[in-house]
Structure 1
């Protein structure tokens, strides 16, 4: 045992207690920090040293350190490890839950970011105004779908999903991206259902799962729900931090990684072809799956990189959705995978919830099969381009700078480079809710403490709503109080 490990106190871990080992470690270290038993700047033992000293797995220590980092109690220095953070916040002394709560007004209304029922201006939401989707096309498709033959009302539908839609999707993908057969496509209740099926099928509690940071907000909770350990890989305008990815993959042996290749949420950027090739090489070298979140593909340029096309679905699982080009209410997504993997994904789908809605899938089939669908998508792309430019200009006028210049899509992430003392994105979002504005603060998308991070306070803005005078007036007021 090293000298550093020898002076580290053994923690009173109750292996028969109700709290998980991670909860106990986080709670105990939180108490030690707040009671100044561990002073600011104290170097923590390495993951392996802590694990050996306390008789726990390295995976347990990784998750505990990550949570303490999220709480602002620990900071990390590249190549040096973890340290007790300076300027400590008041952290809870009791064990924390699996996912640290937001404990603010925005907690209660966070579901409204997905429901579409809130009265607040949906600046932080992930849907577009209904009139942008081509209401007539969608309503006609729904009416057509409701004419389902009576004989189809007796069963649950095809386990893989409505055959005609799978055939149409296979033909479209084969013509535009990569060769795929209908029986390699599994239809789901949206992209999040697809992510859930992948996690259920390929991971076990304790597995490390790599995610982008910042990245899709719901994914972190989903990964933790399955007992896996999410490890963030930095994503910026330049793409993924490939050196960090290589280090984490070598150290932690991840089971899989979720990546938004094109028009990433929340940055709106795309990976270059060179980065996509490097990512595939690392996945091959360290033997982990890549789950390509490809739901924004139709809004992107045809020349953008595709992991599924480069890999041929050997170790890439491609997730698609129609929520961004038709309507999120239809809840139709898709999984494309290798012939060998689809049967197991299908088994898990049936065990977890049987088949998906054939009526919804018929509606999507009729909508995407019309001559006007492609024109509708082109019109939508043009509207979004104009809206993004207006948003960038409007936000610049109230002092917010983009984290990255979007290459397309729905979102602009922007904020102030320096955090004002005592102010966080979460607090500003709470105030926005009281003012009738639904904001999505950076805390929703990152595992790193936002107010101490290098990017300051930032928000994800939906370009369709962000140039609204109500929002801009609110942000001006916030800017004045920061000075």
Structure 2
């Protein structure tokens, strides 16, 4: 159905202009502008398929001829392309090269496989963090709701490091290259509790965990190198590596860990340089690595000479005894990455990596070339929060609240006809909806909801009935009511 000018905010399209029969522009122009806005905002990313003419007409309450006219306008603007017998697809916006006015042809020998391309909507999830589809809790978000992380101890810690001479000491000169010394000492103590013996000189602070992953990639890899990644996996990591020119080798992730037979075959055929893994509370499945799988992965790394980057982003909400490859390996062929954006302060952007001693200087050089140093004020404030036990108690409260939310969300999802592909654990649920979730995602946007379709979590785009949900933001029965209605179309 189309939205009228006097529709309520809850009914109106949250991310695009409403369609109105009384507006100065025709309905075809309005519909074209709606799709054009989504394409510009990358909510419809290159390669995404538009609804068929018949589907779009039914969804919007328009005639098929109006939809055809709108799609013709998008074709004329170069925003979409028509594929015979398949439909309309968003065009890749290729940057111009050289001085000519036309688009450059692909470089000779360039990889054209979809598997080497960035995923469909990796940027949409990030953009959704800054520009939510609506005011409601968003099911596709990758973080806790802001109100879950409200505290008083963080402000107190900031005041502590900005009072008197401390402000000048921490802001009027560059900080230590490796990162604030007090924070690194505190982190070293925390890592000892996990069983990871690493001194402060093996720790490098970063602008969030994603920056840590980027430093590792830029230091250990060069364009064209092969990197093994877990699939399903983090959409942003696929896109980041592809943008750097790496060849992505997807490794199926199961309940116990990665598919070891696939990894062994990749090692023989492609000589990968790196394996990126989320051992604990894997995103999106919630799986945690078994000791047996961890040992075998480390044996393959030693045998074939690749390194393992272990992303422990969700370690704060995981059991301390959970299996971590870095602990078993003692940082010989592993690099440990974590951060505090998920659990404490997203905008502080404090992360860190822990590396084998032989790699620290090279990784530090990369950090200095990309960011110089990291903000000492926030690092010192964070160190105080950890030292006083405030972060630990805060994480315990978050875990308790998440356990309750997970129970409610699971019941609502199952009542809406979904079933869980993996045992619900951690922040995310991996559910089978029974419908194409990429097509569903566009219909949900009309209702002000941003969901995370399963195709985002695969290196090669393919239709999927799976969807990742955030347990903290899917406790609202209203969302599942809308989901059930739209999934039944």
1:138 is displaced (CA, Å) by 2.3
1:110 is displaced (CA, Å) by 3.6
The one-character-per-residue Cα deviations of 1:192-250 (angstroms, maximum 9, x if unpaired) are 10111011100011100010101111101111121111111011334311111111121
1:241-256 equivalences in 2 (<5 Å): 241-256=259-274
Pair 1:124-2:140 in alignment: yes
Tell me the distance in 2 between the aligned counterparts of 1:149 and 1:230: 45
Q: Alignment partner of 1:233: what SS? A: strand
Pair 1:258-2:276 in alignment: yes
Q: Is the CA contact 1:160–1:186 (under 8 Å) kept in the aligned structure 2?
A: yes
Q: Alignment partner of 2:400: what SS? A: helix
Classify 1:392/1:413 alpha carbon distance in 2 versus 1 (closer, same or farther; 3 Å). same
Q: Which residue number in structure 2 is paired with residue 203 of structure 1?
A: 221
Q: Which residue number in structure 2 is paired with residue 115 of structure 1?
A: 130
Pair 1:409-2:421 in alignment: no
1:448 is displaced (CA, Å) by 3.8
Q: 1:348 aligns with which of 347, 366, 389?
A: 366
Q: Alignment partner of 1:278: what SS? A: helix
Q: 1:154 aligns with which of 160, 164, 172?
A: 172
Q: How many residues align?
A: 385
Tell me the distance in 2 between the aligned counterparts of 1:137 and 1:386: 24
Pair 1:446-2:458 in alignment: yes
Structure 2: gaps of 5 or more residues: 1-80, 87-107
1:130 is displaced (CA, Å) by 2.7
Q: Alignment partner of 2:152: what SS? A: helix
Classify 1:302/1:329 alpha carbon distance in 2 versus 1 (closer, same or farther; 3 Å). same
1:30-429 equivalences in 2 (<5 Å): 63-65=111-113, 67=114, 99=118, 101-102=120-121, 109-115=124-130, 119-120=134-135, 121-147=137-163, 148-406=166-424, 408-416=425-433, 418-419=434-435, 424-429=436-441
Q: Which residue number in structure 2 is paired with residue 459 of structure 1?
A: 467
Q: Alignment partner of 2:201: what SS? A: helix
Q: If the length of structure 2 is used for normalisation, what is the TM-score?
A: 0.74
Q: Alignment partner of 1:254: what SS? A: coil
Q: Is the CA contact 2:255–2:289 (under 8 Å) kept in the aligned structure 1?
A: no
Q: Is the CA contact 1:186–1:346 (under 8 Å) kept in the aligned structure 2?
A: yes
1:117 is displaced (CA, Å) by 5.5
1:281 is displaced (CA, Å) by 0.7
Tell me the distance in 1 between the aligned counterparts of 2:393 and 2:149: 11
Tell me the distance in 2 between the aligned counterparts of 1:167 and 1:473: 49
Tell me the distance in 1 between the aligned counterparts of 2:154 and 2:258: 36
Tell me the distance in 1 between the aligned counterparts of 2:140 and 2:368: 34
1:368 is displaced (CA, Å) by 1.8
Cα RMSD after superposing both structures: 2.5
Farther-moved stretch of structure 1 (325-334 vs 230-239)? 230-239
Q: Alignment partner of 2:204: what SS? A: strand
Q: Is the CA contact 1:308–1:316 (under 8 Å) kept in the aligned structure 2?
A: yes
Q: Alignment partner of 2:308: what SS? A: strand
Q: Is the CA contact 1:112–1:118 (under 8 Å) kept in the aligned structure 2?
A: no
Q: Is the CA contact 1:425–1:450 (under 8 Å) kept in the aligned structure 2?
A: no
Tell me the distance in 2 between the aligned counterparts of 1:472 and 1:35: 34
Q: Which residue number in structure 1 is paired with residue 50 of structure 2?
A: none
Q: Alignment partner of 2:392: what SS? A: helix
1:113 is displaced (CA, Å) by 3.4
Farther-moved stretch of structure 1 (305-314 vs 441-450)? 441-450
Pair 1:473-2:485 in alignment: no
Tell me the distance in 1 between the aligned counterparts of 2:185 and 2:133: 37
Classify 1:307/1:140 alpha carbon distance in 2 versus 1 (closer, same or farther; 3 Å). same
1:304 is displaced (CA, Å) by 1.0
Q: Is the CA contact 1:123–1:466 (under 8 Å) kept in the aligned structure 2?
A: yes
